[in-house]
Structure 1
Amino acid sequence: MQRRSFLTAAASAATAVLSSACDQAPAPLAGGFAGVDMARGHALRDRLAGGSLPAPSVQRRTRVLITGGGIAGLAAARALRLAGVQDLALLELEDSAGGNSRAGSVLGRACPHGAHYLPVPGDSAPEVQDLLEDLGLRKRVAGRWRYDEFTLCHSPQERLFWQGQWHEGLLPVQGVGARTLAQYRLFARRVETLSRAARFAMPSFADWGSKMPPAQILLALDAITFDSWLTGEGLDDPHLRWYLDYCCRDDYGAGSAVVSAWAGIHYFASRHGFSAPGEGGGDEGGVLTWPEGNGWLARQLAAPLRQAGQLHTACSVLAITELPGGVQVDAFNHSSGQVERWQAERCVVALPVFIAARVVQSPPDFLRAAAGQLAWAPWLVTNLAISGPLTDRPGAAPAWDNVLYQDGAAGGLGYVDAGHQRLDPRAAVTLPTVLTYYQALGDVPDARAQLARQPWQHWAEAAIAALSLPHPDLRERVERAEVTRYGHAMAIPRPGGLKILSQIGLQRLSVGRKQLLNGEQQRALPTPATARLAFAHADWSGYSVFEEAFTRGHGAGLWASG
């Protein structure tokens, strides 16, 4: 029996068995905050605002210091090791590395605290392809590249709750009118035309090594919002606009009224395009995923650092000072309560731009310009451990990614099921699992203050209420809820961002030297840098996805190895 058919039949059976239990009163909700420690970040802010830093009591030395243990910082460390540099250290604010790709577990069940998938990378991201090859997820078989079948997202991949039932895919199709379908086709043609007219690469700066600025057509799209561009193109269908707004919030943390038209088109044109229903293909691209999401990748990248004693967690960077003969970094160790002073030849600043602008002493003009241009989206991730199968509305079978057309929570993006990748299809409807519910709050007023003020129960109950529409017995099945808050999760690609950040990348170009690593020549990558500092973070692309962060970190690591 095919997995999709089995899930449909098993879900129906589970609904019948569990319907009699819906009258039972739910137990008090257990849970709390998890993942990011907002108090640490605020303590750093308050210390810097006070203007007086405590004197360091510990002195340390290393050849290359990396500040920031997100994907960019971890990629820089990997590039340094590949280049033969073993004398390095990485400082990370939280108790584990990974940034937005961090993961955890609830009641022993692995689940993401942030990013939950990686699209199969294209040829413009050879650094990411090389990583996946090193991890055994990408292999050449009979002359063709193949990806690990156990890691590729199992079918069914996506479904949409709309008009009281589940539909396959995320684009509203069944029951829409002829005009809606015509608008889908029109948008598909516009994406195809723009893809031929200019290069939409992932990572976005893939061609900057030749010091060529973005094409004028990209800069024209960057100058206006996506909503404005859609209106100008006559694309006003509410179903299409809902879907495109969802896509922007999903990848960029804010909706189509906030992000640039370049970002809105780039979402599709840089990867798998957009295919209208009935025209072949499909806009669903292959993705790699794990029960803990991209936390699996972060763990592989961090493992060599932990084993070598080079990963220093619970460290708040207080000041980065560039000196004639090297770099001096002061950091507060939350475990020991001491301020440590690090001396290094070079430093990779893999911190969010707004933090880098605060801690880098006498920050260069290009860092100030980037910090002034960017805005950051708050995010909320709620993990709900459930005891067993849920009552499900009619329609498409349970999927990995489950989205609600009308989500009851602010910024709601639906949920992913941590149990979806289990090999036994019966597990999806018989065993306990974790549902990870996402909320992008980049265009929600006062969201950051609410994240700091509201208790965890407020967010957990809101997530449960939203998901109870398709799953009316959810509250009775929740065993524990854990909420992860991101006050500044990701940079939002607003109008004008591509222009400013590309100018910085070209004017302040430092190129990592080309080397023979693993027997192959590595390409030179643009890295905003000074004499001793290289800046690497997804912020320098204006938006946060794995490919951008990893490739920028890789380039900074090559630079620091020179």
Structure 2
Amino acid sequence: MGQGQRPLSGSRRRFVGASAAGAAAVALPAWLAGCGREAPGLEGGFAGIDMARGHALRDGRWASQPVAKERRTRVLITGGGVAGLAAARALRQAGIDDFALLELEDEAGGNARGGQVGGLACPLGAHYLPVPGDDAREVQELLEELGLRRREAGRWVYDERHLCHSPQERLFFQGEWQEGLLPLHGVGAGTLAQYRRFAQKVEALRRAAHFAIPTLRAAPSALLADLDRPSFAAWLDAEALHDPHLRWYLGYCCRDDYGAGLAQVSAWAGLHYFASRHGFHAPDDGLDAEREAVLTWPEGNAWLTRRLAAPLAGRLHTGQVVLAIADTRNGVVVDAWDAASQQRVRWQAAQCIVALPAFVAARVVASPPAFLTELAAGLTYSPWLVANLHLSSPLRDRPGAAPSWDNVVYGTRGLGYVDAGHQRLDPTPAPTVLSWYRPLGPSEFDGGDGRRLLAERPWEAWRDELLAELSVPHPDLAERATRLAIMRYGHAMAVPAPGLRARLARLAPGGSVQAGLLHFAHADWSGYSIFEEAFTRGHLAGQAAARAA
């Protein structure tokens, strides 16, 4: 789930101990042992997210429970993901300390949480943040506040300790590793020509329209509206861009950023991936393959969300299932189920920031505004799986490019793996954690049953798929693997399907979406699940609530 983007832009939840709760020691399948050696036991299982807690809201389990306790606050934030945490920061900046934040899980951070496996930090979702452009000024200010960027001789510079170390990315293609993710080794002249044509198309669009992050900073444009109508696959067909290697790469980018394939996302979304940041560069354009600086940490974007949550002691309430939100004549009334005390708690506030996914907000808001109902009905969400695999020692490698931070295997269902130990300054070989990302939204690899697979498929099946994919470049993977912790996200991110951008421009034309005493803030209102979108939406909602409180 990426930022470029593995779910925010982008991915997660906290692991339960060094190994998953209820983990079992199992023998790997014989076909993975290799060379007649006996495969070691591998502890593993599902971890982190309390799926029953979320589904209880859907099933109305606590709907009839009486209110056991009442509490008051000036501003209440429901949802502790990036948007909710950004809203809390904006309230504090405005001088409002009388607020509370309710979060479903046991740790705030949403799709940007971190955990540990075998004592090593690793991401549970979104694992990096591209250096933000000038449109993302709220994010730039946050990075300055956190000491990640500073002025030197009139220029902004970023702390190199937090920038992704080189080499940044590589692709296992045609039996060896190559630098970068665009397939190059052994491809023909026709493929290279298609790469150049696509690069020219992207550059022409970049000159003709403003592809902004966050998207609310993009001025209305007939060109952008035209690109929102067809699917990316249809647009590529119309442009006679049929090369299978180009199509694989573009499909990988869409699954990485949006969790769905070329036929499911709009042409605007597919092109925005490149046009909003670093463009698309053909291999003979003379530019470095690693053009875009990104910030990353062993625990992923949890480095950011934990710092946003740290000042909220006493105001951050975890394990809270929001049951109902009502905008009344006397203020906002919010009922929540406290998982720790097993009680229904009623909160009363002057203003409420609803930092919940649109489908949840539409369920819990009483008499929801029409724009919320319409958005929730029109959104499709991509399910995701993130698996963190602890290795006892570094892997042997195939020929080619050196081990990188992001490592992708051509033609697979998964998106490859990120090495959580890549940022270490000590070059001494040591145990590490590989984070494997598996989108399950509809694509050329998967149908529309990803959510059912997450709920019904045993963890051993995901283990086998992971090991089968990554054992191709790393035959010794099984013998070095010791623990596997798997995170499941049934509604990880909204898919920017054809027509969604136009719908959002009509439903949420500004940065702050408001109805009465309710302020809505979530990446869903951008249709694009990355850190910059969620943070900006939350910050603006916090400012609006502060002015109204």
TM-score (norm. length: structure 1)? 0.89
**Residue identity in the other structure for 2:190:** R
Q: Deviations over 1:80-129 (max 9, x none)?
A: 10111100110000000111101100011000000010000000000000
Report if aligned partners of 1:351, 1:537 keep a CA contact under 8 Å in 2.
yes
Relative to structure 1, the CA distance from residue 362 to residue 136 in structure 2 (aligned partners, 3 Å threshold; closer, same or farther) is: same
Q: Distance in 1 between matches of 2:138 and 2:35?
A: 50
**Residue identity in the other structure for 1:33:** F
Out of 278, 296, 299, which is 1:289 matched to?
296
* TM-fit CA distance, 1:340: 0.5
Q: Distance in 2 between matches of 1:188 and 1:85?
A: 48
Q: Deviations over 1:109-151 (max 9, x none)?
A: 0000000100000000000000000000001111110011011
2:246 paired residue number: 240
> Relative to total residues, which structure has the larger helix share, 1 or 2?
1
Q: Distance in 2 between matches of 1:185 and 1:31?
A: 45
Q: Distance in 2 between matches of 1:25 and 1:483?
A: 24
Out of 60, 63, 77, which is 1:47 matched to?
60
Q: Distance in 2 between matches of 1:28 and 1:462?
A: 17
Q: Distance in 2 between matches of 1:476 and 1:173?
A: 31
The answer as to 2:418 corresponding to 1:416 is yes
Q: Distance in 2 between matches of 1:412 and 1:461?
A: 12
Tell me the percent identity. Answer: 63
Q: Distance in 2 between matches of 1:281 and 1:224?
A: 31
* TM-fit CA distance, 1:22: 6.3
Report if aligned partners of 2:174, 2:185 keep a CA contact under 8 Å in 1.
no
* TM-fit CA distance, 1:178: 1.2
Q: Distance in 2 between matches of 1:487 and 1:276?
A: 36
Out of 262, 266, 285, which is 1:279 matched to?
285
Mapping of residues 172-321 of structure 1, within 5 Å: 172-207=183-218, 214-282=220-288, 284-305=291-312, 307=313, 309-321=314-326
1:404 paired residue number: 409
1:487 paired residue number: 490
1:432 paired residue number: 431
1:6 paired residue number: none
2:329 paired residue number: 324
Report if aligned partners of 2:112, 2:126 keep a CA contact under 8 Å in 1.
yes
2:461 paired residue number: 458
Q: Distance in 2 between matches of 1:218 and 1:291?
A: 37
* Helix, strand or coil at the partner of 2:472: coil
**Residue identity in the other structure for 1:253:** G
The answer as to 2:533 corresponding to 1:548 is yes
Q: Distance in 2 between matches of 1:34 and 1:70?
A: 19
Per mean C-alpha deviation after superposition, the further-off stretch among 444-453 and 98-107 is 444-453
TM-score (norm. length: structure 2)? 0.91
Relative to structure 1, the CA distance from residue 21 to residue 542 in structure 2 (aligned partners, 3 Å threshold; closer, same or farther) is: closer
Consecutive unaligned residues in structure 2, runs of 5 or more: 1-32
* TM-fit CA distance, 1:282: 4.6
Consecutive unaligned residues in structure 1, runs of 5 or more: 1-19, 510-525
Q: Distance in 1 between matches of 2:155 and 2:512?
A: 32
**Residue identity in the other structure for 2:330:** G
* TM-fit CA distance, 1:27: 2.1
Report if aligned partners of 2:173, 2:185 keep a CA contact under 8 Å in 1.
no
2:10 paired residue number: none
* TM-fit CA distance, 1:23: 5.0
The answer as to 2:131 corresponding to 1:120 is yes
The number of equivalent residue pairs is 510
**Residue identity in the other structure for 2:95:** G
Report if aligned partners of 1:275, 1:282 keep a CA contact under 8 Å in 2.
no
Q: Distance in 2 between matches of 1:311 and 1:167?
A: 46
* TM-fit CA distance, 1:21: 10
The answer as to 2:68 corresponding to 1:68 is no
Report if aligned partners of 1:183, 1:235 keep a CA contact under 8 Å in 2.
yes
Mapping of residues 495-506 of structure 1, within 5 Å: 495-506=498-509
2:8 paired residue number: none
**Residue identity in the other structure for 1:534:** H
* Helix, strand or coil at the partner of 1:219: helix
The answer as to 2:544 corresponding to 1:559 is yes
Q: Distance in 1 between matches of 2:436 and 2:35?
A: 22
Report if aligned partners of 2:357, 2:522 keep a CA contact under 8 Å in 1.
yes
* Helix, strand or coil at the partner of 1:502: helix
